[in-house]
Amino acid sequence: MQGVLREPLHTRIDTVRTYREERVPYCLPWPELQKLFQTMDRTTPFGQRDFTILLLASSYGLRCSELAALTLDDIDWRARTLCVPQLKTRQNLLLPLTDEVGDALVNHLRNACPTSAYRHLFLRQRPPAGPLGPNGVDCTLARAVRATKVQIKTTSFHGLRHAFALQLLCQGVALKSLSDVLGHRDPNTTSTYLPLNVEDLRQVALPTPEAGQIKGQRDRADQKDEGCCQHKPNRRPAGTVTVPSGFHSFLATPLRNYLSWQRALGRGYRKEEWILRGLDLVLHRDYPCASLPKRCSNGGR
């Protein structure tokens, strides 16, 4: 603000590091999607086209690029199938054509699709004439939410794909079958959608440990540390990478509590314990007289 620095400080602040599959994907709630479809205006070409796009995305979990690439040749009306060319995997996905989707496609082609030499299913309603691109497909959900006033947390088009995957998971579809329907070459990619099924995950969650159980684990850990301390020195021998057992610094109680909580929740934390013991060794060696503040000494928190 005073002109001392050439560049503002906020441009030099590092962003928070996020790891792969750390964030749970957000899926659009299915009741809100049904409400959206019921309140959409399908009397206009815009509304009928957007309704058909959103119905295909929620019924088959298709991507924006896949919807934009659909043509009339991909529909087999006699066999009642829909062939989806997947640009990401360079493979064709054959899907059954349901009655609801078939009726929506017929209404779209008869009433909403403008006359054109293009074979694409979804065309522009405004000049310049031509096929609707992936960006145009991506905007259909946000336009429908604004028109219907349905309260949806996000208008991300990919949330329709997540909602479709969650519906299949709730119906008990196997992960391999779900991977085939979504067009994933690697089944591990499909495992990203598993955290969405919260209700089934509740059945495998570990119970929250009681305070007495944690206190008993902490007491046994203290006894083990005291027994190890009688035979092993506090300092690490020269030329070795081992860390003495037990915690002896002023952070000993908080560190034991932390490990007890994590292991009560089912985590191993072997590597983390090794790191914490090394930290405790340095604190005990270099700051033997240090202590916790009074506000933190109660309960070791």
* Structural domain spans, the chain: 30-202, 211-300
Per-residue pLDDT tens digits of the chain, which is 301 residues long: 788 888 877 777 777 776 666 666 777 888 889 999 999 999 999 899 999 999 999 999 999 999 999 999 999 999 999 999 887 777 888 999 999 999 999 999 998 888 888 999 999 988 888 899 999 999 999 999 999 999 888 888 988 988 888 888 888 888 788 888 888 877 777 777 777 777 777 777 777 766 555 556 656 655 655 555 454 445 544 444 455 567 888 888 888 888 888 888 778 888 888 889 888 888 888 888 888 776 555 544 4
- For residue 113, the one-letter residue type is C
Q: Are 134 and 64 in contact (CB under 8 A)?
A: yes
In DSSP notation, 32-49 reads HHHHHHHHS--SSHHHHH
The DSSP code for 135 is H
Q: Are 53 and 160 in contact (CB under 8 A)?
A: no
Q: Are 226 and 248 in contact (CB under 8 A)?
A: no
Catalytic annotation, pick one of 193, 248, 256, 277: 193
User: CA triplet 24, 30, 33: central angle to 5 degrees?
Assistant: 115
0.85 cut: is pTM over it?
no
Determine the pLDDT at residue 268.
Answer: 81
Catalytic annotation on 161? yes
- For residue 227, the one-letter residue type is G
Catalytic annotation on 231? no
Rounded to whole angstroms, the Cα distance separating 178 from 199 reads 18
Phi, psi dihedrals of residue 139, rounded to the nearest 5°: -85, -10
Phi, psi dihedrals of residue 193, rounded to the nearest 5°: -85, -10
Name the packing angle between helices 45-60 and 134-148 (round to 10°).
110
Say whether domain 30-202 belongs to CATH 1.10.443.10.
yes
Q: Give the residue among 112, 145, 125 at the shortest CA–CA distance from 44.
A: 112
Q: Are 51 and 40 in contact (CB under 8 A)?
A: yes
Whether the bond into 128 is cis, omega within 30 of 0: yes
**Could you tell me which residues come within 8 angstroms of residue 85 by beta carbon, excluding any fewer than 6 positions away?**
66, 69, 74, 92
Q: Are 158 and 164 in contact (CB under 8 A)?
A: no
* H/E run at residue 81: strand 81-86
- For residue 283, the one-letter residue type is L
Determine the pLDDT at residue 21.
Answer: 62
Determine the pLDDT at residue 300.
Answer: 44
Catalytic annotation on 88? yes
Catalytic annotation, pick one of 42, 49, 63, 248: 63
User: CA triplet 187, 192, 196: central angle to 5 degrees?
Assistant: 130
Catalytic annotation, pick one of 23, 88, 119, 153: 88
Catalytic annotation on 184? yes
Q: Residue 254, Cβ neighbours under 10 Å: how many?
A: 18
